Amino acid sequence: MEPQRPRQRAGLGLASKGGCSQRPRIRNPVEWLDRQTFSFHFRNLRFANGRNCSYLCYQVERLKHCSPDSTDWGVFQNRVYPETPCHAELCFLSWFCAKKLSPYEQYRITWFLSWSPCLSCAEQVAAFLKENRNVRLSIFAARLYYFWKPECQHGLRLLHHQRAWVRLMSLRDPLQKQRHAEICFIDKITSLNLDPNQSYKIICYVTWSPCPTCARELVDFINGQDHLSLQIFASRLYFHWVKLFQRGLQQLQAAQVSVAVMTRSEFEDCWEEFVDNQGMPFESWDKLEQYSESISRRLRKILLPSNWNNLEDSFRDLRLGSPSPSSLRSDSR
Residues acting as catalytic residues: 182
Q: How many alpha carbons lie under 13 Å from residue 241 in its C-beta half-sphere?
A: 0
Helix H or strand E segment including 140:
strand 135-141
Cα–Cα distance, 313 to 229 (Å, whole number): 25
**Residues with Cβ < 8 Å from 134, sequence gap 6 or more?**
103, 105, 106, 107, 190
**Residues with Cβ < 8 Å from 18, sequence gap 6 or more?**
97, 101, 131
Pairing, β 228-236 against β 258-261: parallel
Residue 83 and residue 73 in contact, taking contact as beta carbons nearer than 8 Å: no
**Buried/exposed 144-172: b ≥16 CB within 10 Å, e otherwise:** bbbeeeeebbebbbbbbebbbbbeebeee
If DSSP states are collapsed to H, E and C, what string results for 4-21? CCCCCCCCCCCCCHHHCC
